[in-house]
Amino acid sequence: MSTLTLKDGTEIYYKDWGKGQPVFFHHGWPLSSDDWDAQMIFFLQQGYRVIAHDRRGHGRSAQTSGGHDMNTYASDVDEIVTALDLQNVIHVGHSTGGGEVIRYVAQHGKGRVAKAVLISAVTPIMVQTENNPNGVPMSIFDEIRENTATKRTQYFVDFSIAFYGYNREGAVESEGIRRNWWRQGMMGAINAHYECIKAFSETDFTEDLKSVEIPVLVLHGEDDQIVPYEITGVVAAKLVKSGKLITYPGFPHGMPTTEAATINKDLLEFFKS
């Protein structure tokens, strides 16, 4: 099992397979690098070097008492990238991982990053504020916090339904996908999951997006019930200097898993462009 001990002593688990141009995958809340299975195997077979880590407090990484904020997440990624001496990297982030990608690129990635991809990402900001009146009300995130803190085991079972759009008419539910979501979530620490809710909902990535000069692909499902695409993907694509937006009618938040063939095709086209 590959692990890296960071400067603060935190042990981070990561996968690093293959050779070729590196593609670094950043997972969403409250999951792990395993959520990228459909992409890791596909791009490994396409001749890329694929890397993914379990964020601190998530998956197989150390369950730390602190550091569950976007600046620390980005710094952790920088330590991994530096330790592996990755160059000309394509960073791909899903949901919370999209915020992590943009914060990393803005603060640490200059000279090492070739391209970035935001999939169902929380950028530029999710929560409703005076400056973001169309955002998601804080009461929704308070509810997520309360349920995570008090009944995480059942809440994570239930959360996967909307995550993958299985509550929509005509959807074909996969019990295996739902069980895998729960498995990944329960591997992580409850304090990390609780504190990460603030990180993914309240962090403002507007200035990060504006500062990014590399090509950025934004992918978002139009039926995303977790991160509404109109206030995130559509806006993020306009804020970056070189952005391309693709939205998918009917696709859910967890589309890298449920719609892997389509997502992988569009990613590969962007990687090669």
Residue with tokens 């169902």: 120
Handedness of CA 192, 148, 259, 45 (dihedral sign): positive
In degrees to the nearest 10, what's the CA dihedral of 44, 4, 180, 252? -70
Q: Residue 132: is it exposed, middle or buried by C-beta count within 10 angstroms (0-12/13-18/19+)? A: middle
Radius of gyration of the chain from its Cα atoms, rounded to whole angstroms: 17
Q: Taking the CB of residue 225, how many other CB atoms lie within 10 A of it?
A: 15
Rounded Cα distance, 110 and 161, in Å: 38
Say which DSSP state 136 is in.
B
Catalytic positions are: 95, 224, 253
Rounded Cα distance, 93 and 96, in Å: 7
